[in-house]
Amino acid sequence: MAKWGQGDPRWIVEERPDATNVNNWHWAEKDAGSWSRSKLKSLLVGLKFSGEEGECEITEALKVDGEATAHNRKGKLIFFYDWSIKLKWSGMAEGKEGEVKGEIEIPNLSDENAVEEVDVIVTVESSGKVVSQTMKEMVHREAPIVVRSKLSEYLRCLKEEYSNKGLILPKRQSPTESSPATPPTLGTRISTQRSPSPAATSNKKSGTSTSLYATLIVLTSCLLQAQLM
């Protein structure tokens, strides 16, 4: 058994705000279905697309069925989503054609497909009137472009929204992370005296020995002179 404070940090649970999902290692998820449904409707309803042949607008979301979830695993966010969407559009064609209507279907908006691969199927209702070929071509050309741009915006908003929903929790501070140095408190005296270098100490000892040797010579000389007298 590891000692206190040692071992794999994934299993250390002390000093955590919630004491769960240590270092974001365990699987956690949040339902993003309700938020996504509302977001898709707000992005798509009211969206306009136009050309020289006329101008059209998505007026209603007939169906927004599916689900979306945000997951955290090992500190990484993963998103799963699968939507089937049907929209209603209308517009005015140039010339004598008047109002034109139709539907847009998005059957496969999911995490398995890139936005560029999502099918955007546009239909035009004739309603007993003859719609010009140029108007149909404009609708089929412009509608998928603007719709896919809004689907890309939805995915970006989904990631931003659920990155701030508490799925990624603050990690425990590593034991190797040191605190900044604490400056001396008031009243602490800091010594500024320099210690003598080895060379200075050696010279001082050498000078002392020379002085003692000279003193001995002088004393010996005085004793010899006293004996001769």
Among candidates 106, 117, 103, 59, which has minimal Cα distance to 83?
106
Q: What pLDDT was estimated at residue 4?
A: 47
Using H for helix, E for strand and C for coil, what is the string for 163-229?
HCCCCCCCCCCCCCCCCCCCCCCCCCCCCCCCCCCHHHHHHHHHHHHHHHHHHHHHHHHHHHHHHHC
Q: What pLDDT was estimated at residue 89?
A: 94
State mean pLDDT over 144-152.
97
Q: What pLDDT was estimated at residue 202?
A: 55
**At 219, is the pLDDT very low, low, confident or very high (cuts 50, 70, 90)?**
confident
| Range with lowest mean pLDDT among 56-70, 74-88, 130-144, 203-217 | 203-217
State mean pLDDT over 177-190.
44
State mean pLDDT over 157-178.
64
pTM over 0.75: no
Using CA atoms, how far apart are residues 184 and 187, in angstroms rounded to an integer?
Answer: 8
**At 97, is the pLDDT very low, low, confident or very high (cuts 50, 70, 90)?**
low
What CATH number is given to the structural domain containing 146? 3.15.10.20
Q: Is the pLDDT of residue 220 over 80?
A: no
**At 182, is the pLDDT very low, low, confident or very high (cuts 50, 70, 90)?**
very low
Which residues, 6+ apart, have CB-to-CB distance to 71 below 8 Å?
27, 28, 29, 77, 78, 79, 80, 167
Among candidates 100, 108, 106, which has minimal Cα distance to 121?
106
Residue 223 falls inside a structural domain: no
Which residues, 6+ apart, have CB-to-CB distance to 89 below 8 Å?
56, 57, 58, 59, 101, 102, 103, 104, 143
Q: What pLDDT was estimated at residue 179?
A: 47
**At 203, is the pLDDT very low, low, confident or very high (cuts 50, 70, 90)?**
low
| Position 15, amino acid | E
pLDDT tens readout for residues 43-52: 999 999 988 8
Residue 214 falls inside a structural domain: no
Residue 136 falls inside a structural domain: yes
CB-based contact 63:83 (threshold 8 Å): no
Q: What pLDDT was estimated at residue 185?
A: 39
Q: What pLDDT was estimated at residue 226?
A: 67
Residue 11 falls inside a structural domain: no
Q: What pLDDT was estimated at residue 192?
A: 47
Residue 44 falls inside a structural domain: yes
Q: What pLDDT was estimated at residue 178?
A: 46
Using CA atoms, how far apart are residues 32 and 95, in angstroms rounded to an integer?
Answer: 45
Q: Pseudo-torsion of CA 88, 92, 95, 98, nearest 10°? A: 70
Structural domain tally of the chain? Answer: 1
CB-based contact 76:92 (threshold 8 Å): no
Residue 92 falls inside a structural domain: yes
Using CA atoms, how far apart are residues 210 and 213, in angstroms rounded to an integer?
Answer: 5
Residue 135 falls inside a structural domain: yes
Residue the block writes with tokens 């010009």: 132
Among candidates 34, 69, 75, 64, which has minimal Cα distance to 162?
69
Residue range(s) defining the domain that contains residue 58: 18-163
Residue 60 falls inside a structural domain: yes
**At 98, is the pLDDT very low, low, confident or very high (cuts 50, 70, 90)?**
confident
Q: Is the pLDDT of residue 29 over 50?
A: yes
